[in-house]
Amino acid sequence: MKRLSVVALVIGVLLLASPGYAQQFTYAYVVVPCSPLPPTSCPNGSARQTTASGINPAGDIVGNFIDGVGVQHGFLLSNGTFKIIDVPGELFGTTGSLPTSANGINPAGDIVGNFRVPMNALVPQDSPAYCPGPGSAACTKGFRYSRGRFDVVLFPGHPGAIPQRISPDGDIYGCLHDFDTGMSMFGAVWSRKGNLSLVAGGGHLADPSIEVPMSMSNGATPDGHTIVGLWDAMPGQRHGFVVVNGIFHSYDARPGISTLTAIWDINPHREFVGTYVDNTGRHAFLQRPDGSAPIIVDPPGATSATAFGINPAGVIVGVYTAGGATRGFVAVPVN
């Protein structure tokens, strides 16, 4: 994959129309079952909170859940069966599993995500075990899970990483970060060919001043020509972005109305999904490639919703809150 350069940065409107409900969906919710007994102690045998984060062409879904004692676990839902995807602590000299989130899955079933390591400031900063303190973003590392094996995903010279998506060919999209998920966070690509690049800014790693900080690449079309994600113009001003053949465009779901926009995934047809916030709350949305108004994908009764993943068939997964419960959701197009 070639390094992407920012040829233009377009801040402002891409769409002027109001969002609508033209597309119809059938909704289902996702709640991970877990034991009511220690150590998970899940109330009523179900996760306290479930998020569906990614979906592949076969309909396999990955995400994370919070158990009854507040520990985060990754999961895979395939053919109606849940499997826990947790990075084993023994890889880092500790017992049990580490807090894990499974974020993306490709057609081959390879999974990427992130996990947190326990505090260890005695190793070098580029070590996968480096963690200077309990609240540091440097303690969050990336992983790839393939054929039963976990591999750590990091960007050279940076202690933290969050992989979000893995392409059919094995390219990984996400972000690197040092000690925060603000100014030190940059969208990044880990290529199967060994080429590393910063998505939001391109240029040279040796000169981070020309990059766009506070950014995260969250997905791409299989050919890598279109990449989507999020970036912050400054703290508190979050926008989506679309990089098309190396040209960086800022995107707002409702220009002049939405106060936050984030794009979380894109499928081969260049349909992308995400979330935006306006004066009525947080909404999940679907954006068609024709430039029409974004379509709201809020499950019925939702008071807050985010769409995190979309597969080639247009099936969308995400998370929503309704009646005080936070669950994953699946939205299947009626047609």
User: What's the pLDDT tens digit per position in 156-209?
Assistant: 889 999 999 999 999 999 999 998 888 889 998 888 765 444 443 332 222 232
Q: What is the pLDDT of residue 202?
A: 32
Split at pLDDT 50, 70, 90, the class of 20 is: low
Q: What is the pLDDT of residue 204?
A: 27
Mean of pLDDT values over 218-222 = 95
Task: Render pLDDT for 246-263 as a digit per residue (tens, 0 to 9).
Answer: 888 999 999 999 999 999
For the cut 50, the answer to whether the pLDDT of residue 12 exceeds it is no
Q: What is the pLDDT of residue 183?
A: 83
| CA end-to-end distance (rounded Å), the chain | 35
Answer positive or negative: Cα dihedral of 151, 157, 163, 168.
negative
Q: What is the pLDDT of residue 155?
A: 86
Mean of pLDDT values over 95-116 = 97
| pTM for this entry | 0.89
Split at pLDDT 50, 70, 90, the class of 8 is: very low
Q: What is the pLDDT of residue 193?
A: 63
For the cut 70, the answer to whether the pLDDT of residue 3 exceeds it is no
Task: Render pLDDT for 310-331 as a digit per residue (tens, 0 to 9).
Answer: 999 999 999 999 999 999 999 9
Q: What is the pLDDT of residue 203?
A: 29
Mean of pLDDT values over 78-107 = 95
User: Whole-number mean pLDDT of the chain?
Assistant: 87
Q: Going by C-beta distance under 8 Å and a sequence separation of 6 or more, which residues neighbour residue 57?
A: 107, 311, 312, 313
Percentage of residues in the chain with pLDDT exceeding 90?
A: 75
The token duo for 117 is: 């390591």
CA distance 173 to 195: 12
Q: What is the pLDDT of residue 1?
A: 27
CA distance 294 to 271: 10
Q: What is the pLDDT of residue 278?
A: 96
| Sheet strands (E) in 211-293 | 215-220, 226-234, 237-244, 247-251, 260-266, 272-278, 281-287
Q: What is the pLDDT of residue 17?
A: 40
Give the residue with greater pLDDT, 205 vs 98. Answer: 98
Q: What is the pLDDT of residue 94?
A: 87
The token duo for 282 is: 């947080």
Mean of pLDDT values over 68-85 = 97
The token duo for 14 is: 């891409």
Neighbour count for residue 57 (Cβ, 10 Å): 15
Percentage of residues in the chain with pLDDT exceeding 70?
A: 87
Question: Taking a C-beta distance cutoff of 8 angstroms, is the pair 79, 85 a contact?
Answer: no
189-204 burial, b for 16+ CB within 10 Å, e for fewer?
bbbeeeeebbbbbbbe
Task: Render pLDDT for 272-306 as a digit per residue (tens, 0 to 9).
Answer: 999 999 999 999 999 999 999 999 999 999 999 99
Mean of pLDDT values over 225-234 = 92
Q: What is the pLDDT of residue 13?
A: 27
Split at pLDDT 50, 70, 90, the class of 58 is: very high
Mean of pLDDT values over 84-111 = 95
Residue 162 Cα distances to 1, 103, 158, 185, 230, angstroms = 19, 9, 12, 10, 13
| Sheet strands (E) in 155-214 | 160-166, 172-177, 186-190, 196-198
For the cut 90, the answer to whether the pLDDT of residue 265 exceeds it is yes
CA distance 192 to 335: 36
Cα dihedral value 135, 136, 140, 141, nearest 10: -150
Q: What is the pLDDT of residue 19?
A: 60
> Looking at the domain that runs over 9-333, which CATH code has it been given?
2.120.10.30
Angle CA 201–207–208, to nearest 5: 50
